[in-house]
Structure 1
Amino acid sequence: MVIASSPPQWMQQDGPALSELMTALPVATLVVRPDNSIAEANMRAEILLNMGRAAIVGSDISRTVRMGTGAPFDIWHGNKPIAAYDVKIHAGRTAEMEVDLLIAPIVDHEGWRIVSIHSQSQARKIGHHATSGGARSAMGAAAILAHEIKNPLSGIRGAAQLIESGNEGRDSALTQLICNEVDRIAALIDRMQDFTSDRLLECRRGNIYPLLDRATQIARAGFAEKIEIIKQYDPSLPFAQINDDVLVQIMLNLLKNAAEALEHVDRPWIRVETAFRHGVSVVVEGGKGSAALPIEILVVDNGPGVPDHILDHLFNPFVTSKRDGQGLGLALVDKLVRDMNGIVQYSRNREAGESTFRILLPMGTT
């Protein structure tokens, strides 16, 4: 026998009923009891599961939403928040599909959970999807192409230098232009090659604060010299599982991105924050359960924010709102954070006038 807990105080007052709230939710949502039976389902859930509400309510969540190939089979047990991205499920009477599952415990109601099922993967928005075979093939092709392009570029540069020396510097402006353009293309290819590596990144247990300080020091001495950089660190933060050089590179990219966004702001500032976040976790590939990501790093600025039309593709290569931008900085941040088994997100607080890039990393183990 299941005894339902009393509803929260705000629901006992004059306001929307639970059924009205559930109907208004834009994603498939289920309310699950401590015994794993489904207590409530909205219309979006009926459509996604291809089942009527009467058939859903009262059924066991593990039988109604069945985990597919490679999914973590213990996802329905426990009382911790879980974000499972790109998992395969058999939902109701539908064929296997790939979704995101977000499970959130209901505060002060032991064992009760809210389950939201996103049929269109949100993992692509936060950059936490695994590399597929097709992507690996594309990466390999890109590596070969980059190598083949750089060979003739070095020849062109050498020829331009020979022309300049043979003409005793008479065409130095033109030859220098050739050399500069060759160097620019070569630098772009070097940056593109950062995306072609699919090898496992070596991470170790380490202190993030010297690395954050190194990145902010470099920023203050160069591209952010006219910008106030504020540090708000949690002194009790434990070690993270990181690669030192990669974390510095990530921070430099985010700080440079923020500095460029503040070009026309009267009193520009960038705030670097750290915190320990309980209960944030992601599903480990191969059905190995969930991994906690409690180490939070925020890079906040008071710039205008990311334009709405590129939000959904913010971490994709060549997506940028800057006139002279290449759209590679944030895409590289996305890849490098994922290589450290973390996630990166963007949010905008319009009331406060703040833009935030949020990095979540695993706690140090070895």
Structure 2
Amino acid sequence: MIERPDEESDVTGSLPMAVLNAIQNPVILVDAKGLVAFANWEAEAFFGASAQYLARHDISTFIPFASPLLALIEQVRERRAAVNEYRVDLSSPRLGADKLVDLYVAPVLSEPGSVVVVFQERSMADKIDRQLTHRTAARSVTGLASMLAHEIKNPLSGIRGAAQLLESSVSDEDRALTQLICDETDRIVSLVDRMEVFSDERPVDRVPVNIHSVLDHVKAIAKAGFARRVRMTENYDPSLPPVYANRDQLIQVFLNLVKNASEAVGDRPEGEIMLTTAYRPGIRLSVAGTREKISLPLEFCVHDNGPGVPSDLVPHLFDPFITTKTNGSGLGLALVAKIIGAHGGIVECDSHASRTIFRVLMPASKGATAEDGEPLTLPEGQSR
């Protein structure tokens, strides 16, 4: 409960502090002397120091030498106007590696020489940007699939029919060539059929789904077929609420991810695939075409200890026709991105040597019961 002893405290006391500390981005106030006069909780975590410690030191103490941030602060002081700067590298032994941030620097007009600095770490921003790119790529494939279905499948049926007619009048040696023509036309038709899935823009029929029954079903299919020699484990949070989704499409998504993981670990004796579920509050995503923002607290992951995905492919892994497989079409993960995007969720890949994680973040169902009618509760201390 925020105390409000008088009107003055609303302006300078606990309420502004509570607001600033509630912001999920690091925020600092640099005074005219260059000292960090204020830091919210996120800033303390970002710099690895308390607000009291920060207040006794110049901002240059905590950022790399000759950092663009110092020049931005001086620019804002001189022009008395806000400045945005994107993808500024603040990596250092103090702050850690891969500290890529967007900066918003603004003057405090009531305090000459003072500026406010807001840091937006690029990890989540890049994740959202990539997800939007995945959706745009899927829409581009939608138009391509519609064109291919009309312009290619009809001529292919004629080619196959002609090859079948020739097959009865050619020698045994040439008959192998006519069979090759039929096989290749069938392969192209199959590829076009797979691409036609992208052109299905019908609304997704969704209901509350127990994700653990989906993952257990996928695991049973995998163990009976392509992953029969791969060790599969799970680490589930049994208190998760239902996910608001289409069960068949979720099976398609995780079957694709588990198949990829199985192919990644191959026949290695130590190969392992792990399925995990968890509750991760805090991530919200805008719904395309509306002003609604949905929470994505449900995290479902497929882990494998294969060799990993090449780092240069990770940002483009969900784009159509991108694949690490010799004979792959590059449409499987693009379809995964389309399905999860249609559900209002996010799919991401984190890959390093001997550790790859495909992470799916999705909204919880507004209902309180799973498919079997049993109530599912959130972990203690959490609420929808």
When normalised by structure 2's length, the TM-score is 0.65
Matches within 5 A, 1:109-188: 115-116=119-120, 122-123=126-127, 126-129=130-133, 139-167=142-170, 171-188=174-191
- Residue 19 of structure 1, aligned match among 34, 55, 59: 59
Secondary structure of 1:356's aligned partner: strand
Aligned equivalent of 1:299: 302
**Aligned pair 1:358/2:362, yes or no?**
no
* Distance (Å, rounded) in 1 between the aligned partners of 2:231 and 2:184: 34
Structure 1 residues 286 and 136, CA gap change in structure 2 (3 angstroms): closer
Aligned equivalent of 1:346: 349
Secondary structure of 1:341's aligned partner: coil
The worse-fitting range, judged by mean Cα deviation, of 113-122 and 290-299 is 113-122
Structure 1 residues 162 and 273, CA gap change in structure 2 (3 angstroms): same
* Distance (Å, rounded) in 2 between the aligned partners of 1:285 and 1:125: 13
Using the TM superposition, give the Cα deviation of residue 305 of structure 1 relative to its aligned residue in structure 2, in angstroms. Answer: 0.8
Using the TM superposition, give the Cα deviation of residue 43 of structure 1 relative to its aligned residue in structure 2, in angstroms. Answer: 5.0
Using the TM superposition, give the Cα deviation of residue 321 of structure 1 relative to its aligned residue in structure 2, in angstroms. Answer: 2.1
* Distance (Å, rounded) in 2 between the aligned partners of 1:250 and 1:44: 47
* Distance (Å, rounded) in 2 between the aligned partners of 1:147 and 1:234: 46
**Aligned pair 1:255/2:258, yes or no?**
yes
**Aligned pair 1:206/2:209, yes or no?**
yes
Structure 1 residues 284 and 20, CA gap change in structure 2 (3 angstroms): farther
Segments of structure 2 that go 5 or more residues without pairing to the other structure are 1-11, 18-37, 85-103, 108-116, 368-384
**Residue type matched to 1:324 in 2?**
N
Matches within 5 A, 1:1-366: 1-2=12-13, 11=49, 19-20=59-60, 23-24=63-64, 42=69, 51-52=76-77, 55=80, 115-116=119-120, 122-123=126-127, 126-129=130-133, 139-167=142-170, 171-263=174-266, 265-286=268-289, 288-350=291-353, 353-365=354-366
Using the TM superposition, give the Cα deviation of residue 138 of structure 1 relative to its aligned residue in structure 2, in angstroms. Answer: 6.5
Using the TM superposition, give the Cα deviation of residue 249 of structure 1 relative to its aligned residue in structure 2, in angstroms. Answer: 0.8
Using the TM superposition, give the Cα deviation of residue 306 of structure 1 relative to its aligned residue in structure 2, in angstroms. Answer: 0.7
Aligned equivalent of 1:32: none
The worse-fitting range, judged by mean Cα deviation, of 169-178 and 182-191 is 169-178
Using the TM superposition, give the Cα deviation of residue 247 of structure 1 relative to its aligned residue in structure 2, in angstroms. Answer: 0.6
Using the TM superposition, give the Cα deviation of residue 190 of structure 1 relative to its aligned residue in structure 2, in angstroms. Answer: 1.3
More helix by share: 2
Determine if contact 2:141/2:320 at 8 Å carries over to the other structure. no
* Distance (Å, rounded) in 1 between the aligned partners of 2:224 and 2:345: 29
Structure 1 residues 169 and 338, CA gap change in structure 2 (3 angstroms): same
Structure 1 residues 121 and 281, CA gap change in structure 2 (3 angstroms): closer
Aligned equivalent of 2:377: none
Deviations 1:125-166 (A, max 9, x none): 64235866x985763354023222011112222222233245
* Distance (Å, rounded) in 2 between the aligned partners of 1:361 and 1:223: 27
* Distance (Å, rounded) in 2 between the aligned partners of 1:157 and 1:176: 9
When normalised by structure 1's length, the TM-score is 0.68
Secondary structure of 2:199's aligned partner: coil
Secondary structure of 2:285's aligned partner: strand
Secondary structure of 2:325's aligned partner: coil
Using the TM superposition, give the Cα deviation of residue 201 of structure 1 relative to its aligned residue in structure 2, in angstroms. Answer: 2.0
Identity of aligned residues (%): 38
Secondary structure of 2:336's aligned partner: helix
Determine if contact 2:308/2:352 at 8 Å carries over to the other structure. no
**Residue type matched to 1:357 in 2?**
F
Secondary structure of 2:152's aligned partner: helix
Q: Which has the larger radius of gyration?
A: 2
The worse-fitting range, judged by mean Cα deviation, of 308-317 and 166-175 is 166-175
Using the TM superposition, give the Cα deviation of residue 272 of structure 1 relative to its aligned residue in structure 2, in angstroms. Answer: 0.8
* Distance (Å, rounded) in 2 between the aligned partners of 1:284 and 1:51: 35
RMSD, aligned CA: 4.1
* Distance (Å, rounded) in 2 between the aligned partners of 1:135 and 1:299: 22
Determine if contact 1:125/1:313 at 8 Å carries over to the other structure. no
Secondary structure of 2:360's aligned partner: strand
* Distance (Å, rounded) in 1 between the aligned partners of 2:229 and 2:320: 29
Structure 1 residues 221 and 53, CA gap change in structure 2 (3 angstroms): farther
Aligned equivalent of 1:81: none
* Distance (Å, rounded) in 1 between the aligned partners of 2:78 and 2:174: 79
The worse-fitting range, judged by mean Cα deviation, of 230-239 and 294-303 is 230-239
* Distance (Å, rounded) in 1 between the aligned partners of 2:288 and 2:138: 17
Aligned equivalent of 1:107: none
Deviations 1:24-53 (A, max 9, x none): 59x99xxxxxxxxxxxxx459769xx8449
Determine if contact 1:126/1:343 at 8 Å carries over to the other structure. no
Moved over 6 A (4+): 13-18, 90-93
Secondary structure of 1:128's aligned partner: helix
* Distance (Å, rounded) in 2 between the aligned partners of 1:258 and 1:339: 23
**Residue type matched to 1:285 in 2?**
A
